[in-house]
Amino acid sequence: MALRQKDSFSPVILSYANEAASLPRYSVLGFYLHVAARLAARFAFIALIIFAYAVFNASCEATVRKIIIDTDPGTDDAMALMLALNSPELDVRAITVVPGNVTAEQGLENALRMVSLANRCDIPVAGGARHPLFQKLITAEFWHGKNGLANIELPRSKCKADPRFGPDLIIELIHASPHEITLVPVGPLTNIALAVEKDPSIVPLIKEVILMGGSIKGGNVNAAAEANIYNDPEAAQIVFQAGWPLTMVGLDVGDKTLLGHKQLDQLASTHGPVNDFIYGVAKFLVELSEQFGDSGTPMYDPLAVGVAIDSTLVRAPAMHVDVETRGEFTRGETVANRHNEIERNVLHGDHYIIEGVDKVEPNARVCIEVQADRFLQLFVSRIQGK
């Protein structure tokens, strides 16, 4: 007698059962063995699909880079932050604030307002150092506007500051995800140096450091030094000599990556809270650059985030970099040994004699070429309509 479908039976089981009921008794055992084999094959196929999906998911997660952004939120920091928050390749685990373009207090307020604008109150935002390690702070409202954000007043933040000290938060997150965190400092390196000095064990646990700072062709503060390094040379020397994988995204590539009226027009063609804010910031910077005879604004900090997204945007040979901390005219200069060699001078009597050449171990990849158009298009595409 055929079975009727009940809620407790699946159509597949019912069809097998009805088929079995019509068979002679001696063949029922063989039939059920056959059915069992077919069901096992089905379940194995389903398990294979689930496994393949899990592997695909894990591989997608592996391609997402976990980053901590350390920033002194001025105008180009704002563009860097919004690029990071709107790039699926990056998982922003925290934002720590360092004084530089603006004071520590103003920087924290700016960071909180921008994170709120992006609806990302889930990301911890923590204040850090209040001043450089051994010198007085130099702020840059001249270049970034009175509030550091091109004089644009963003709505008050819905987000609250994380109570942890920035360098402590960096240490905590690195230990929580060993070999997975990339640090992206786009301001003076005070917070990063404090973290290393407090807990040197984080150095081998870092995946990479991608910093905006330095130059091997001259400075923008003076003839020798770039602003982020100049604002805390001692901290920069600690970071460069720490011994972790480090990429220096400096003036050498930033000055080749100019956002101009073409990109402004593209941003003006779409709208959204982030889009309109970044358009206002970029317009301020382009107009300021034009006052000094430039055709666009250098994308210093955003390019460091761009390298975190896609390292093929730049060419970065390995060099040994030291930071000058004592020179009267060169304090803050990043001195790069392009050949990674140094002459060996040996004292003989009253003078030295060159007796050979010693190898110097590189400690940084220094960006010297950039695919500027490709980066600018990436930046605009991530901001448009947001």
Residue type, 354: I
The encoded tokens of residue 78 equal 């704002």
Separation CA 123–CA 159 (nearest Å) = 9
Question: pLDDT in tens for each of the 386 residues of the chain?
Answer: 444 544 444 554 455 455 555 555 545 556 556 656 676 666 666 666 666 555 444 444 458 999 999 999 999 999 999 999 999 999 999 999 999 999 999 999 999 999 999 999 999 999 999 999 999 999 999 999 999 999 999 999 999 999 999 999 999 999 999 999 999 999 999 999 999 999 999 999 999 999 999 999 999 999 999 999 999 999 999 999 999 999 999 999 999 999 999 999 999 999 999 999 999 999 999 999 999 999 999 999 999 999 999 999 999 999 999 999 999 999 999 999 999 999 999 999 999 999 999 999 999 999 999 999 999 999 999 999 99
pTM above 0.75, yes or no: yes
SS3 of 353, please?
A: strand
Concatenated DSSP letters of 60-125: HHHHSEEEEEEE--SHHHHHHHHHHHT-TTEEEEEEEE-SSSS-HHHHHHHHHHHHHHTT-TTS-E
CA distances 146 to 81, 142, 151, 162, 287, Å, are 19, 7, 6, 25, 16
